[in-house]
Every structure is written in structure tokens, then in C-alpha cells.
Amino acid sequence: MEHMNNLKDKVVVITGAGKGSGRLLAKAFAERGASVAANDISPINVEQVVDEINGQGGRAKAYIEDVAKKVGVQNLINQVEDDFGRIDILINHAAVQPNVPLLSMDEWDWHRVLDVNLTGVFLMTQSAGRVMREKGGGVPPLASLKDSLGASGVIINLVTETVRDEKQEAAFVASMSGLAGFTRQAARELSPYGIHVYAVENTRDTIIASVFALFE
């Protein structure tokens, strides 16, 4: 398949790669020939998925950093550059989703959700985007996604748009609304550099098809 060839030997950074959709995508990108830089704040799960990928003949490495911290993001991006030489694709998956009623929510819970789900995406997009810009040098704004992979890069933000009625997730809903708006603006600002930015619905049953449809 064409997208298989497009992704071979590309370097993909995935935040929150230890669980859920991040784990699924890490393994799926590796199966398609990409090198996977798997990030998570907790070493146990992410090191397990990296071991699975490498054990099956793929190429992956774990990076334990908190994407809500600027220093952690800078360390992550610098380490990936040192290990792989570039960044072609960024998947922003790391998120926290506490089920806390609005009227009893602690300020710390509110800030932690926004720090990870929104500030973390900003920091990762900014840092990885700078690397992609330097690598590509810019391609026309209407270049195809295939051309962008060859020249600059792709950033995919996983957004959860549907929250179950019984959930009490004011902070999470606010962060997802902010992420959708941020994605639209980032797409506008990074397009002149040949960097494509997308929002993809983070639904476990369809995430693989939705993400890889972008590369066909």
C-alpha cells in the first residue's frame, strides 16, 4: 500500500504512548516501518510497548518526560533529535481525564488537566515544529501530505469530542475545546513551512483507520 511506503523510516514522536490510543498507534506506526519515539510520564507501560516493538523487528525507544513541563519537552525533543536525527510526525496523545464534579473540583485538578491536555500540546507543537521547519525549509501551503512528509512534517492532535453524560469532566471538556481551536490556528500558522496540523477524534475503535487515512 502507498501509505506503507510513505511511512517507512519516518520518525514519529507519540506522547502518552504507554496506554490507550497512543499504545495502539505506536505499534501501528512501527508495523508500517516508522521509527517510534514513545513518550510517557510513567516508564512501566511505555517501556513495555517499546520492548514489544523492538522484539518484533521494529525500531523504538522510550522517553520518560512530563509534556506539561517546558524543560521536559525540550529534553524529549533534543533526545529524539540526537537518537534519530529528525522528527517527521508528532502525535499529541498525552492527556489526563479526572472525573471530578465541577462544584468540588480542586484548583490543582483544573490546572493539571489544562497543563497536560493543552499546554503540553502547545509545548510539543512548538518544539517539534521548530525542528520540522529547520528540516524542511518550507514548501508551498497547498502541498500534499505526501509532499509534506518528504519536506517538513505532520502534527496530529487527538481530540475527544464526545463525553458520556454521566461524566463530570468540566476541565477535560474545556481542554478539548481549547485543543480544537489551537489545532485550527496551528494549522494556519505552520502551513507556510509545509507542516500539516490535524485534529483526529480519539475513538479507540476507529483511531488507527482515521490516522492512517491521512497518509494515503
Mean pLDDT of 86-108: 92
Hey, how many other C-beta atoms are within 10 angstroms of the C-beta on 162? 8
Burial of residue 166 (number of CB atoms within 10 Å: 0-12, 13-18, 19+): exposed
**pLDDT at residue 5 greater than cutoff 60:** no
For 158-210, write each residue's pLDDT tens digit.
998 766 555 678 999 999 999 999 999 999 999 999 999 999 999 888 999 99
E-assigned strand segments in the chain: 11-14, 35-40, 59-64, 89-92, 153-159, 195-201
Domains and CATH numbers, the chain: 2-213 (3.40.50.720)
Confidence of residue 99 (pLDDT cuts 50, 70, 90): confident
pLDDT the model gives residue 204: 85
How far apart, in Å, are the Cα atoms of 81 and each of 88, 90, 93, 127?
11, 13, 20, 11
